[in-house]
């Protein structure tokens, strides 16, 4: 009779330890690969947003889509539409704005990374309606200086000084990153979180003489970074010329305002 040798307890423990070690090495790598895939999907979404804005501009004699009616028609009378700060998570609202005919594919309105955590975060709107569940509907905001009502805003594409350096749409955080009203610091990036579908930053006169001053929104900081360092990650944006790239809120100083401002640098 041939006796078969069984694994000893020590050998089994060694194998388990090796597997655990390999898993410990692989999990962060898999997490990084997964986030890079999400980031790619987000960039593809924004590329489609850029195409939609391009089609709108071409069909409307060079004018940008209006910032307050590109996604929802403020005159439609939909219940809940007047609560601007809760629009981003109000599933009962139906998009009917001027840009909507070019953006009917709903799958392109949500960054997968944003969707994964936004449901578990409180709405930053100080007038949040608790009867509206947190069901994220979109994660992209439009530059308030393009077709908007921000100070020194412009209406037409031909007025943009450097199309490759001006953002049209970008992601926006659902939380405020510092607000000490003492100018820009690495921990003081925004005075407002996602509360509508418009991204407005006033800039800091310390860094730009033409800045308006007074805080505002910032680009998303949750891509390509651990959850513990979520204030120091990156966002994605599509620019006036149609290209999409990663953008940073915290470096160089006052970078959000720099990439939103469409006018001449004084």
Spell 77-105 as b/e; 16+ CB within 10 A means b.
ebeebeebbbbbbbeebebebbbbebbee
Looking at residue 181, its pLDDT comes to 52
266 lies in some domain: no
2 lies in some domain: no
3 lies in some domain: no
1 lies in some domain: no
- C-alpha–C-alpha distance, residues 41 and 158, integer Å: 30
- C-alpha–C-alpha distance, residues 19 and 128, integer Å: 47
172 lies in some domain: yes
94 lies in some domain: yes
Q: Band the pLDDT of 179: cuts 50, 70, 90.
A: low
pLDDT in tens, 123-151: 988 889 999 999 999 999 999 999 998 99
pLDDT in tens, 192-231: 889 899 999 998 888 888 998 888 999 999 998 887 888 8
Is a pLDDT exceeding 80 seen at residue 23? no
Q: Band the pLDDT of 253: cuts 50, 70, 90.
A: confident
Q: Is the separation of the CB atoms in 80 and 93 below 8 Å?
A: yes
105 lies in some domain: yes
Domains identified in the chain, total number: 1
Residue 134's domain comprises: 9-260
Give me the sign of the Cα torsion angle 48, 54, 56, 59.
negative
Is a pLDDT exceeding 90 seen at residue 7? no
265 lies in some domain: no
Looking at residue 147, its pLDDT comes to 95
C-alpha triplet 259, 63, 111: angle, nearest 5°: 50
pLDDT in tens, 104-127: 877 899 999 998 888 788 898 888
């Amino acid at each position: 009779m041939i006796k078969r040798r069984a694994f000893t307890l020590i050998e089994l423990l060694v194998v388990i330890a090796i597997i655990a070690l390999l898993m410990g090495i692989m999990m962060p790598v898999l997490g990084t690969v997964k986030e890079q895939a999400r980031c790619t999907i987000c960039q593809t979404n924004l590329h489609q947003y850029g195409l939609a804005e391009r089609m709108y501009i071409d069909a409307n004699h060079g004018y940008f889509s209006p910032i307050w009616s590109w996604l929802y028609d403020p005159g439609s009378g939909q219940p809940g539409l007047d609560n601007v700060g809760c629009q981003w998570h109000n599933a009962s609202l139906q998009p009917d704005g001027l840009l909507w005919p070019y953006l009917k594919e709903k799958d392109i309105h949500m960054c997968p990374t944003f969707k994964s955590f936004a449901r578990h975060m409180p709405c930053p709107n100080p007038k949040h309606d608790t009867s509206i569940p947190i069901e994220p509907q979109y994660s992209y905001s439009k530059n308030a200086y393009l077709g908007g009502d921000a100070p020194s805003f412009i209406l037409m594409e031909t007025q943009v000084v450097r199309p490759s350096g001006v953002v049209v749409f970008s992601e926006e955080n659902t939380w405020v990153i510092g607000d000490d009203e003492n100018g820009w610091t690495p921990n003081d990036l925004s005075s407002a979180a996602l509360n509508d579908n418009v991204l407005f930053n006033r800039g800091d006169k310390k860094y730009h003489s033409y800045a308006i001053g007074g805080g505002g929104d910032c680009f998303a900081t949750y891509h390509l970074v651990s959850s513990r360092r979520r204030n120091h990650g990156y966002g994605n944006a599509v620019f006036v010329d149609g290209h999409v790239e990663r953008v940073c809120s915290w470096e160089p100083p006052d970078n959000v305002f720099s990439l939103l401002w469409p006018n001449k640098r004084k």
